[in-house]
Structure 1
Amino acid sequence: MSEEVTYADLEFQDSSKRKNIHELDTVGIKVYTTLKIEMGNLNKLQNFNEELQRNISLQLIHNMNNSKRIMDLSNTLQEIATKLCRELYKRESRHKCKPCPKTWMWHEDSCYILIDNYETWQESVMFCSAQNASLLTIKNKSVLEFIKSKRLRGYWLGLSDKKHLRTYQNVDETIISSNWLTGNRNAVNDMMYCGYIDTGYIYYADCTSRMKFICEKLADPVKIESTLMSEMPDGKYS
């Protein structure tokens, strides 16, 4: 009788084991199925993310191309406005498109003004500095020809001061000179000599002597609207 009970117990245990194994298999299948679904979702999400990044990259490239086109167009308009303004300036030196203050002359990228007050060299430097400008320097052929055309007589230049009096030199030689001032000098006295232009030559005199002078500074960009809108329908200029 006890053996039958033992056998029944064993059958019951085997049945329980099979049931547990079946349940584990079912759970395993569910976990596998869930993981497979989640992996599929993850792959879809990754694909979506990659597609989104591609679209963003394409949009950025498109925006950069548009920005470059806009910049190129802006530069072209600026060049046209500048050329037109130069023509208008030749006809009327006080034309409102001029990128220089009212009483200043315009040449290439710079503005110039002749000051007929008599000042020491140092006072001339200080006056120009107050106008956000500096004493005239002649560093290229174009500026040289522009200045020669003015036939200036007795104007201080932005040449470095000297401790010894120098003989005069032809103004044409100055564009290859290393003597042009690179910064304002604060300690110029009556023992030093400064350069000035007189017609086609450069001379030196005591820096405390009083002469006229000419200032220069960078011109502002030409305003497109003040140039392109300046010509009236009847051919006259505002």
Structure 2
Amino acid sequence: MSEEIVEEIVYANLKFEDSDKKEKTQKSDKCGGKVPSAPSHSQHKRVLTLTLLCLLLLAGLGVLGGIFYTTLETEMIKSNQLQSIKEELQENISLQMMHNLITSKKIGNLSAMLQNIATQLCRELYGKEPEHKCKPCPKGSEWHKNSCYSQLSGLETWQKSEMLCSARNASLLKIKNKNVLEFIKSKKQRNYWLGLLPRKDTEMGNEKMFLSEEFERSTYDLSKMYCGHTDGIYVSYANCNQKKRIMCEETASKVQVESVLSHLPEGDM
């Protein structure tokens, strides 16, 4: 084959390929877009990397979710255990408080019983020995029921007598009930000032007038007032500035159990 023929064939092929490319380009322009080129190797690598990252992220979220669920479940178990312990402690404390209250009441009852026994024993000892150590009254006074009665020496006005008794943390003789009334009547004492409210007249009283009224310090002009005093089984009134005998009354202290037990015979201990 001659060189001219070969050149013509090559030229015809190149021209055909060129016309074919133009035709494809024209068709692509007519369709309104360009034919996409094939993806490169770097693009495939990026997609693969992003896919792996997403998978790793999902796996991490799954692990974190599992840890969170396990931790939450563990904390709930601990919380329930703590709640149970708290309820058990509260119940134990309530039972202990109830036990202490019952024990305290028992101790209080026993203490009161022991106090009553000691008081009764002391009264028996007092009957035999008026100045027995267990007596819950000042020396020289008389013990009756829950009160101590002390007779002071000398004569004084009603106001001075009231002040002397007050200095001893006591008060002038007061008749507060029938029991005290009978006790005073049995003594047949006369001319002892009473802790009655001063009055403006000298009317003779009866037994009901023995019951003392509360005396409040005030601006009485006692030189014109009359004060009550014992007169056998009655109460009489005299000018408050007259001088009469003094009897002070005070509340007896509690009998000391030790003072009774220490003076009992050894055979009674």
TM over 0.5: yes
Query: Residue in 2 aligned with 1:173?
Result: 208
**Counterparts of 1:64 and 1:180 in 2: how far apart (Å)?**
41
Confirm whether residue 206 of structure 1 aligns to residue 242 of structure 2: no
Q: Hey, what's the Cα distance between the residues in 1 that align with 2:266 and 2:68?
A: 83
C-alpha separation between the residues in 2 aligned to 1:113 and 1:188? Answer: 28
SS in structure 2 opposite 1:190? helix
Alignment of 1:54-203 (within 5 A): 54-163=91-200, 165-170=201-206, 172-175=207-210, 177=211, 180-184=213-217, 187-203=220-236
1:124-159 Cα shifts (integer Å, max 9, x gaps): 000100110000111201000100011001111011
Amino acid of the structure 2 residue aligned with 1:207: C
* TM-superposed deviation, 1:184: 4.3
- In structure 1, runs of 5+ residues without a counterpart are none
1:42 aligns with 2:79: yes
Give deviations 1:102-139, integer Å, cap 9, x for gaps: 11111111100122411000010001001100001112
State the identity %. Answer: 44
Q: Does structure 2 conserve the Cα–Cα contact (< 8 Å) formed by 1:161 and 1:188?
A: no
Q: Is the 8 A contact 1:113 1:216 kept in 2?
A: yes
Is the 1:159–1:181 Cα contact (8 Å) retained in structure 2? Answer: yes
Matched with 1:27 is: 64
Residue type of the alignment partner of 2:182: E
Measured against aligned partners, the alpha-carbon deviations of 1:62-107 in whole angstroms (never above 9, x if no partner) come to 2222222211111111111111111221222111111001111111
Tell me by how many angstroms 1:46 deviates.
2.1
Distance 1:234 1:63, change over 3 A: closer
Could you say which structure has the larger radius of gyration? 2
Amino acid in the other structure paired with 1:131: R
Q: Comparing both chains, which one has the higher relative contact order based on Cα–Cα distances under 8 Å and sequence gaps of 6 or more?
A: 1
1:160/1:180 contact within 8 Å kept? yes
User: Bigger CA drift: 49-58 or 107-116?
Assistant: 49-58
Q: TM-score, normalised by structure 1?
A: 0.89
Counterpart in the other structure of 2:34: none
1:230 aligns with 2:268: no
The amino acid that maps onto 2:215 is T
Q: Distance in 2 between matches of 1:233 and 1:36?
A: 73
SS across alignment from 1:213? strand
Q: 1:151-195 CA distances to partner (integer Å, 9 max, x unpaired)? A: 0011110111112x222123x2225x5x62333456442111111
Aligned letter for 2:208?
Answer: E
Report the Cα distance in structure 2 between the residues aligned to 1:183 and 1:15, rounded to whole angstroms. Answer: 103
| More helix by percentage | 2
- For structure 2, the 5+ residue unaligned runs are 1-36
State which drifts further: 41-50 or 96-105.
41-50
| SS in structure 2 at match of 1:90 | helix
In 2, the alpha carbon distance for the partners of 1:181 and 1:49 equals 57
Q: How many angstroms apart in 2 are the aligned matches of 1:189 and 1:44?
A: 80
Structural RMSD (CA)? 2.0
Q: TM-score, normalised by structure 2?
A: 0.79
CA deviation after TM superposition for structure 1 residue 8, in Å: 5.2
**Larger deviation, residues 96-105 vs 9-18:** 9-18
Alignment partner of 2:223: what SS?
coil
One-letter code of the match for 2:79? L
Give the number of aligned pairs: 231
Which residue identity is paired with 1:205? A
Aligned equivalents of 2:174, 2:227: Cα separation in 1:
13
Provide the secondary structure at the position in 1 that maps to 2:228: strand
Partner of 2:47: 10
Structure 1 pair 233–24 and aligned structure 2 pair: CA distance change class (3 A): closer
Question: 2:222 is paired with a residue of what secondary structure?
Answer: coil
